[in-house]
A and B are shown apart, each in its own frame.
Chain A
Amino acid sequence: MTQAKSEILQGTLDLMVLKTLHAMGPLHGYGIARRIEQISEEVLLLNQGTIYASLVRLQQKGWIKAEWGTSENNRKAKYYSITSAGRRQLREEKENWERIAGVMARVLKS
């Protein structure tokens, strides 16, 4: 049961990370986590460590890339940015998600 739940969460987390990087440009892990928390208006309190599993996955699929850089506080940090393959993927996933969400909404309303 919990397994199935986390599966779904995992997929959505990847999508959220992609969208965040698409919207915000290069960000480090902490920045991504913070941003998602803010957007979700703190409803989604995620364990920030899980973001890294998602980052590795996306990297391995070639949808994002990483580079070492310096943060605003002059701290060494790894910056992630979306690739063109990632943008394509985001578009597909977004459409897919909207379609499902629409269907879900209709089903639940009726």
Chain B
Amino acid sequence: MWAKLRTWSSRLWSWARMRRTAGDFSEELESHLAMLTEENLRRGMGPAEAHRHAALSLGGIAQLRESHREQRGLPFFERLLQDLRFAFRLLLKDRGYTIAASMALALGIGANTAVFTIFAAVVLKPLPVPHPESLVTISRTTPQRPGGLFSFADYVYFRDNNGVFSSIAAETPEHLHLAASSAASSTVTGAEPLMGVFITANYLETFGLHPIAGHGLSSDDDFRTAGPYPGLLSANYFQRRFGSDLSILGQTLTVSGTPVLVVGIAPRDFMGTRPEVPDIWISSSALGDASRRAQDRTTLSSVLTARLRPGVSLAQAQAELNVMASALRNQYPAQERQWNVQVAKATRFGNYHLAFVRLYVVLQVLMALVLLIACTNVAGLFLGRAAARQREIAIRLSIGASRARIVRQLVTEGILMAVGAGLFSYVFAVQMLSAIGRTVSAKLASSGGTMAVDFSLDLRVFIYVLCISAIAGISFALVPALQSTKVDVSSALKEEAAGFGVRSKSRLRGGMIAAQISVCLALLIGAGLLTLQSVRLLSVDPGFDTKTVINLNISSPQELGYSTARTSELQSRIEERLQGHPGVARVAFASSIPLGGNITTTRVAPAEAAASTSVRQQFPYVYVSRDYFKTLGIRLRSGRDFTSHEIATNAPVAVISEGLAQRLWPGADPVGKRIALGSPTEVHFPGQRAPFSTSTEVIAVAADIYSQHLVSPDAGAVYLPKPPADWNAIGFVRVQGDPNAATTNLIREIHAMEPNLAVTAETLTHMISTGEATAAFDVASIAFFAIGLLGFALASIGIYSMVAYTVAQQTREVGIRMALGAQTSHLLRVLVGESARWILAGLASGVLVGLGLMRLLASQIPQLFGTPHLFDPCVILSVSAITGGLALLAAYFPARRAARLDPAMVLRFE
């Protein structure tokens, strides 16, 4: 072992000073020769004779030198360096080709790296808490929904009766806002979005964490009945919003109208099982009286996280919860019967975890396809070059180079390019990741919360990239290398190029063209279908007017400390001023915005059947002012609008949507019938009005609208008269003329009355196109479109270069044919025709692969693609036609160039 090491280090040392060692050795040999000659002279030989004998007994000087060199240095390494130098020179010589091929590879590898990095950052990382292995998430499962939430009553039951958890916590996330006048900063105007989570006092403790400043919640906090309610800021928000100024501890913030006392700061980047770092955790006592909530079995809003007792396995916990769930089902048969409980290891991103894994599978498949295009592409280029170097290879084979040696040379070229591309792709991936990171952060900034996924590349990912690039390099260089060294030396030397007749080689090239077109077409079909889907969504008529209606969001003056009387006085003044504003046609107010992402639901049933139905479905409800339907342009199918009197007296009347009417009384006219709404135990965040009525009269049926998402219209909706005392937070203004100019005027108008109110205004069109309802779809279609375009760019380069090489191979034959009188047009037909066969084959298989791909997508992300018109034949046909046309064009140009050559030139070139 030691001797070996010594030998190698000595070799390395000599290799480093090879030139000197070689000179040394020559000198030594010379002196040896001289001594031998002298001796021979002494023995009486003539000078020439002496020299000849000396040389004979020493042996061949050149051989000695060569073997000495082998023995001294690192021959394998040296040959590798030689190969590398040669490869490098060749790649530099064909600069355009090198750039195209390595860019193609770099894009392919880079995209793969980015996807894997996100996967590693999100899925492979354990929760950043002590002992993540004993932390579990408990989900309520129903056949429709696997990752459901629990009611607070269920939570209390589990908490008080289980023997398997040392601690179990409930959380309820909510989009909130921080009042403008809160805490110090006077520079910020308007309410800020705030991502809040209502937690039980044992929440942080369950995760095994402690506040980094201040203190956590105490068990008494769970039973607070009046504000201010204690809360913890996330360290991220604490730094971003308050500049890490600890004087915020002990201050009271007004969060969506509720006073919250800041008692502590949670650890940096702690996000529980949420996809983002919330801004604030608030004691769940702020949601309402604890003893009342403990009775609430209908509001399913609690996410449960628990810590297993030491020694308790996941299976034991599951078994115990199964028993408890069946006890609950028996005890409360009025509730939904089919629910069950699932205990799973807590993961980052909680319920989103599975969705992420699925998305990753889909993206990774797509990325693998892109990499496949890139590799086929480069393999094609290598094949073309290898064919062009046929003669060189044949010469080297004939003067004694081994096949292995030549294959190694060609593979070295491939690896060199792949590793170069790998390095380039590293840069590309970093850029891509930071762009994704920026986009996600910007998205979060508009709704509160901080992104804490680390999108920087780590070593593991870099190794992954290098492996991919090395494997790709070897594979794409090996195939052509093996093929091109399989030549019959004598025939290759005699006549250089393969003619039209040599089938096997052209079949490989043709197959590569077909494969590239196939994969690229599959991606483009996917992109086309998704884009169409997204365009279709945005052009869906949601059932209300979006272009001329401006949505106003006005913060409550109670956050400024206004009395109720002053608030209601301001309210009527604002309404009046807006009505009188020039260009305003109508004004209405409501408790939520259709397609605004914030939906409130309640249980609805026909009044006569309410008591007997065990399962009552949840439907969205909204409180609206008098002119709501006219302002938004929602048609009333039958019946009448609310009267001023009904609004003022908070009368028990409702307008229901067509869909709901169909569900409650199929085929009958619902006007005049009565419905039951809500339940006495339903609780909501303070300030949010929840309907509860055993008998409300239906006075009209409104047309169905799309208020939750654009994929399908609402299954049903209930409109209730808005109590006059409720603050008009959400306004709708129908304007005449330019709505964009009107938005600024309206804000100015309100600020003229009360400068401290936070007001935002935007057209509904704008709100919808940037809102959550369409954002997910937009992101998906943009991503697929980008991938499709990327694939197409790669495939075009590939097709062009491959056809160009094919044609270049046939230059000689083209020349002969032309010399024999063939027409240019005929030659063009023959040349392009050959490529066209393969292009057609590629198109056909591409359509099949594309359809398969979309089927895979639809199965993985049903909520995004659960639409019936996914497979639009128009899109499939036109994308195929465009791809085929461009591919033919890519084949046409090099063919035309060949057909225009002067035959005399071509033949003389031989």
A43-90 residues at the B interface, CB under 8 angstroms: 47-50, 52-53, 56-57, 59-62, 71, 73, 75-78
**A49, B59: Cβ atoms under 8 Å?**
yes
Q: In the complex where A30-B32, A77-B28 touch, is A52 in contact with B68 (Cβ < 8 A)?
A: yes
Q: A47-B57, A60-B10, A76-B27 are in contact. Are A30 and B35 (CB under 8 A)?
A: yes
Q: Is B745 an interface residue (CB 8 A)?
A: no
Question: Do the beta carbons of B35 and A47 come within 8 Å of each other?
Answer: no
B32 pairs with A56, CB closer than 8 A: no
Alpha-carbon distance A5/B666, docked complex (angstroms): 103
- Looking at chain B's contact residues, is the secondary structure mostly helix, strand, loop, or mixed? helix
Q: Which residues of B contact A61 (CB under 8 A)?
A: 3, 6-7
- A65 CA to B34 CA in the complex, in Å? 23
B64 touches A49 (CB 8 A): yes
Chain B residues with Cβ under 8 A from A57's Cβ?
Answer: 71
Bitwise interface map of B from 19 to 50 toward A, beta carbon under 8 Å scored 1, else 0: 00000110111011011101100000000000
Contact of B11 among A52, A60, A76, A77 (CB under 8 A): A60
B504 within 8 A of A: no
In Å, the complex CA distance between A71 and B31 comes to: 10
Known: A29-B28, A76-B27, A78-B28. A49 touches B7 (CB 8 A): no
Q: Is the CB of B7 within 8 A of A60?
A: yes
Residues of chain A lying within 8 A (CB to CB) of residue B38: 73
Known A-B contacts A48-B59, A61-B6; the reply to A56 vs B72 at CB < 8 A is yes
Option from A34, A53, A73 in Cβ contact (under 8 Å) with B68? A53
B10: nearest chain-A partner, CB-CB: A60
In this complex, what residue of B is CB-closest to A72? B35
Chain A residues whose CB sits within 8 angstroms of the CB of B31 once the complex forms: 28, 30, 71, 75-78
A29 near B32: Cβ-Cβ < 8 Å = yes
Q: Is B816 an interface residue (CB 8 A)?
A: no
CA distance A56 to B39 in the complex (A): 25
Shortest Cβ distance from A57 into B: residue: B71
Q: Is the CB of B7 within 8 A of A48?
A: no
A residues 5-64 near B (Cβ < 8 Å) are: 28-30, 33-34, 47-50, 52-53, 56-57, 59-62
Contacts of B24 in A (CB 8 A): 78
Is B58 an interface position by the 8 A CB rule?
yes
Write the chain A residue with the least CB distance to B21: A56
Asked if B144 lies at the interface with its beta carbon under 8 angstroms from chain A, I say no
* Contact of A56 with B71 in the complex, beta carbons under 8 Å: yes
- Which residue of B has the minimal Cβ distance to A34? B39
Min Cβ gap A24→B in Å is 16
Q: Which of chain A's residues have a CB closer than 8 A to the CB of B36? A: 30, 48
Q: A28, A59, A73, A77 — which one has the most chain B CB atoms within 10 A of its CB? A: A77
CB distance from B367 to the nearest CB of A (A): 49
> B331 at interface (Cβ–Cβ under 8 A)?
no
Give the complex CA separation of A57 and B6 in angstroms: 11
Contacts of A77 in B (CB 8 A): 28, 31-32, 35
Distance of A48 Cα from B28 Cα, bound (Å): 13
B67 at the interface (CB under 8 A from A): yes
Asked if B32 and A48 make an inter-chain contact with CB atoms under 8 angstroms apart, the answer reads yes
Return chain B residues, CB-CB under 8 Å to A33. 32
Residues on B with beta carbons closer than 8 Å to the beta carbon of A29: 28, 32
Which chain B residues lie closer than 8 Å to A56 at the CB level?
68, 71-72
Shortest Cβ distance from A89 into chain B, in angstroms?
Answer: 9
Chain B residues, Cβ within 8 Å of A76? 27, 31
A-contact 0/1 string along B76-90, CB 8 Å cutoff = 000000000000000
A73 to B35, CA, bound (A): 9
Known contacts A59-B10, A75-B34: A53-B67 contact under CB 8 Å: yes
In angstroms, Cα B11 to Cα A32, docked, is 23
With both beta carbons as reference points, the residue of chain B lying nearest to A89 in the complex is identified as: B3
A residues within 8 A CB of B71? 53, 56-57
> Are B32 and A28 within 8 A (Cβ)?
yes
Complex Cα–Cα for A50 and B72 (A): 14
Cα of A57 to Cα of B8 in the assembled complex, Å: 11
- Residues 457-500 of B, flagged 1 when their CB comes within 8 A of A and 0 if not, give 00000000000000000000000000000000000000000000
Chain B contacts for A71, CB-based, 8 A: 31, 35
A75 touches B27 (CB 8 A): no
Known contacts A48-B57, A57-B71, A59-B10: A75-B35 contact under CB 8 Å:
yes
Instruction: Select from chain A the residue with minimum beta-carbon distance to B36.
Output: A30
Residue on B with the closest CB to A46? B57
Q: Which residues of A contact B7 (CB under 8 A)?
A: 60-61
> Which A residue's beta carbon lies closest to that of B61?
A49
Q: When each residue 202-229 of chain B gets 1 if its CB lies under 8 Å from chain A and 0 otherwise, what string results?
A: 0000000000000000000000000000
Known contacts A53-B67, A60-B11, A76-B27: A48-B58 contact under CB 8 Å: yes
Among residues of B, the one whose C-beta sits closest to the C-beta of A29 is B32
**Measured CA separation A59–B11 after assembly (Å):** 10
Closest-CB distance, A29 to chain B (whole angstroms): 5
Hey, which chain A residues are within 8 Å of B35, CB to CB?
28, 30, 71, 73, 75, 77
Closest CB of chain B to A63's CB: distance in Å?
9
Complex Cα distance, B3 from A57, in Å, reads 11
A37 CB to closest chain B CB, in angstroms? 9
| A86 vs chain B, min Cβ distance (A) | 12
Known interface pairs A75-B35, A76-B27; A52-B72 also in contact (CB < 8 Å): no
Q: How many Å lie between the Cα of A78 and that of B32 in the bound state?
A: 9
CB distance from A26 to the nearest CB of B (A): 14
Q: For the complex, what is the distance from the CA of A90 to the CA of B28, rounded to whole Å?
A: 25
Min CB distance, B407 to chain A, in Å?
27
Write out the residue numbers on chain A whose beta carbons fall within 8 Å of the beta carbon of B67: 53
A57–B34 Cα distance when bound, in Å, is 24
Which chain B residues border A49 with CB–CB below 8 Å? 58-60, 63-64
Smallest beta-carbon distance A77→chain B, Å: 5
Report the Cα distance A53→B70, complex, angstroms.
10
A11 to B782, CA, bound (A): 72
Of B6, B25, B32, the most chain A CB neighbours within 10 A belong to B32
Cβ-defined contact, B59 with A62, below 8 A: no
CB–CB B6/A47 < 8 A = no
Please indicate the chain B residues that have their CB under 8 angstroms from the CB of A30 in the complex.
31-32, 35-36
Q: Quote the shortest CB–CB distance from A6 to chain B (angstroms).
A: 13
- Residues of B near A52 (CB, < 8 A) are 25, 28-29, 64, 68
Chain B residues with a Cβ under 8 A of chain A:
3, 6-7, 10-11, 24-25, 27-29, 31-32, 34-36, 38-39, 57-60, 63-64, 67-68, 71-72
A-B contact pairs, 28 of them (CB 8 A): A28-B31, A28-B35, A29-B28, A30-B32, A30-B36, A47-B58, A48-B32, A48-B36, A48-B57, A49-B63, A52-B28, A52-B64, A53-B67, A53-B68, A56-B71, A59-B10, A60-B6, A60-B11, A61-B3, A61-B7, A62-B6, A71-B35, A75-B35, A76-B27, A77-B28, A77-B35, A78-B24, A78-B27
Known: A48-B32, A49-B64, A60-B11. 20 other contacts (CB 8 A): A28-B32, A29-B32, A30-B31, A34-B39, A47-B57, A47-B59, A48-B36, A48-B58, A52-B25, A52-B28, A53-B71, A60-B6, A61-B3, A61-B7, A71-B35, A73-B35, A76-B27, A76-B31, A77-B32, A78-B28
- For the complex of A and B, the 3 pairs showing the least CB-CB separation, nearest first, are A49-B59, A60-B10, A30-B35
